[in-house]
Amino acid sequence: MFFVFGLRAQTTDLARVEYLHFPFSKSGNSITRYRALIQAPISLKKDKKNFLVIGLEYRYLDIDIRDEEDIAAFNGHLVSATQRMDGYLAYTWKQNYDWRFGVKAGIKIQSDLVGGLVDDDLVYEFGVYAVNDKMKNVLEGEKPWRLIMGLTYSTVPGRNYPLPIINYYKEFRPNWTYTLGVPKTNIRYYLNDTHRDAIQAYATLDNYFANIQQNFTPQLPDGNPDNRVAESLQFTSGVLGLGYEHFFTEHFLFFAYAAHTVYNNFRFEDGQGKKIFVINSENSPYFRAGLKFKY
């Protein structure tokens, strides 16, 4: 049921701590991200069909820029770190035997935070979700499955449209499962019948946005004749990789992923979300690991 509270990752996580490292190919630049998440469901009825969910998330992005050309582009305003703090409320209810629905509203602070909080640091997000869950009480001859659909909308500059969430999960053979969806698709194989260890192949989309409090005019290699001003950083990537999971208990596990991007774009943008300068677009390796407690 807790898929309806996901942050575009369709996650059942109730708590997570995570480390990510992204060394750019053909470059001395790199990104390191630290993330912590907690989602607290509160039952509103004794039958546990309706829940209020309080969610909090923190991300710290360490940006290590070493290439001389890129340092020059910052024109004396080198951004070395950004932060993201999320807070949101969600409500989910059981409509009937098959369907559960949910809504979510939240606010994010996404900025380099070199000074006090300003209006451009704030991003508002809204979402609606629907879940058809056939994981339990499966009819004879059928396999467990679950379908999640939704839309999320945020006030990130240049993104004047909602983003879809689609997630179809199925257990199709003993110890085999797959997920088809946006932003993540995977296939998982459990290495033992106790489901203590699993490997997976996956594809996913990742995106990060942060406001720059001290806007500046980049010094570009080919010049900046229109004197366009950088007001935000955007990082978008498409990733293919392999992952390993070890379950200490049914709900508590360690995970590690090694992957490579098939699309990578780390860039400055202006106030309308238009690209000014790309810091890196080379496909690069991608490493992520952490601990999580999930429903």
Q: Is residue 15 predicted with pLDDT exceeding 50?
A: yes
pLDDT of residue 152: 93
pLDDT of residue 289: 97
Angle among Cα 195, 175, 199 to the nearest 5 degrees reads 70
Between CA 162 and CA 155 the distance in angstroms is 10
pLDDT of residue 112: 93
- For 154-187, write each residue's pLDDT tens digit: 998 777 789 888 999 999 988 999 999 988 899 9
225 Ramachandran zone, left/alpha/beta (phi>0; psi -120 to 50): alpha
Mean pLDDT (the chain, rounded): 89
- For 65-112, write each residue's pLDDT tens digit: 999 988 988 888 889 999 999 999 999 999 888 899 999 999 999 999
- Of the candidate ranges 84-88, 146-150, 272-276, the one whose mean pLDDT is the lowest: 272-276
Domains of the chain: 2-294 (2.40.160)
Q: 3-state SS of the chain?
A: CHHHHCCCCCCCEEEEEEEEEEECCCCCCEEEEEEEEEEEEEECCCCCCEEEEEEEEEEEEEEECCCHHHHHHCCCCCCCEEEEEEEEEEEEEECCCCEEEEEEEEEEEEECCCCCCCHHHEEEEEEEEEEEEECCCCCCCCCCEEEEEEEEEECCCCCCCCEEEEEEEEEEECCEEEEEEECEEEEEEECCCCCCEEEEEEEEEEEEEEEEEEEECCCCCCCCCCCCCEEEEEEEEEEEEEEEEEECCCCEEEEEEEEEEEEEEEEEECCCCCEEEEEECCCCEEEEEEEEEEC
